Copies of this chain bind each other. A is one copy, B any other.
Amino acid sequence: MSEAEDFLKVARAAREAATVLAPLPRAPKDAALRAIADALVAGVDEIIEANAADVTKARESGTSEAMIDRLRLDAGRVEKIAEAVRQVADLPDPVGEVVRGSTLPNGLELRQVRVPLGVIGIIYEGRPNVTVDAAVLCLKSGNAVLLRGSSSAYASNTVLVRIMQEALATTEVPAGAVQLVPGLTRESVGHLLRARGLVDVLIPRGGASLINSVVEQATVPVIETGVGNCHVYVDADADIDMALTILINAKAQRPSVCNAAETLLVHADIAEAFVPRALAALKDVGVTVHGDERIRAYGADVVPATEEDFFAEYVSLDIAAAVVGSLDEAVSHIRRYGSAHTDAIVTRSQAAARRFTATVDSAAVAVNASTRFTDGGEFGFGAEIGISTQKLHARGPMGLPELTSTKWIYTGDGHVRV
């Protein structure tokens, strides 16, 4: 069979499974998730064996040890993956929730009810645990899932998907509801991107280049996730100690994640009091500052910032920094260079907080808090499939309800329009 036929086969199987899965209530879905968790634990040897093959291949191709650590699975990690599956089973089911409802003047009863999206395509890089995480979030919300992971984890993903399918085969959820997209070539991704009618939505999880290529090529609707060039703006009226605490937390508490700060903006009126202390505090935690001219006036070891620095999502111990003349200038900078993920203001001024939250057009705006809180777990969602940085359908952390659509149901007793 050709790759295109291989793809059509799994996509159709997912579509068919989706029609059986969609109307299922919570109990059989939770039972299926628990069966998956048990099967993963039971299959730990198989999983580790397949993963070892991926690790060997990665090492041979010169992958860094940091990346290999992300790829590697051991018994403890498999147990953690299974535990996360059980936690998803414990979450409420978004499907069936009545979002709105009314009785129309003519007596027609109208309800808007959450329903599954159908078939979700997840395109992701990195760790094989995402294979299981993404699959069970889709299943819990009544969706079938087509998984397209990184080629470096293909052996691991193949075994993980097979174990999930075998577990589902013992439950009311059809085994076909979880599918690995076959093939490792660029073309095999192309089939998924253009499978309009078979796939209802694509969620790319990864770096900006992955996401851009998906958006460029896809005819299936896409939810963009995750690129984070987050800003901390220190207002003229900021509490300096608070600003320092927030800055260091936002930048350095976990620099590798999308809600870490990548740019510091400082109001000119507070620059003299704040910037020298900020530079010292950033240096203490090992952060390199890429500053504009006015920042560089306060520190000899500030690297000159280029325009690329202000666009950058470093995901490392680097930060761009600039002095701005006003709050509005800070907002303009964020609009121009930011990724509309999370931007924070530190201020004692109610008026400044109001203007900043009203005019910064990002998925999340933080007032006197670290950007690191933009997270499904922190927001109390219990689970997160990603953080949407687009405006349609879902914006910010996406939990289970964001993996659903709605359906209008209206009931009469022979109602006709007049």
Contacts and interface: CB of A to CB of B under 8 A. Distances in A.
Contacts of A357: 407, 409
Given A110-B379, A200-B391, A201-B391, A246 B416 contact: yes
Interface string A233-252: 00000010010011001100
Contacts of A223: 392
Interface in A46-66: none
A299 interface: no
A329 to B, nearest CB: 14
Given A23-B358, A367-B411, A405 B380 contact: no
Identical chains in the assembly? 2
Contacts of A365: 407-410
Contacts of A414: 239, 242, 245-246, 368-369
Interface residues of A, number: 69
Q: Which of A112, A223, A253, A365 lies at the interface centre, i.e. has the most chain B CB atoms within 10 A of its CB?
A: A365
A390 B393 CA distance: 11
B410 A367 contact: yes
A178 B373 CA distance: 37
Interface of A: 19, 22-23, 102, 104, 108, 110, 112, 115, 117-118, 196, 200-201, 215-216, 219, 221-223, 239, 242, 245-246, 249-250, 253-254, 335, 353, 357-359, 361-370, 372-374, 378-380, 390-393, 395-397, 405-417
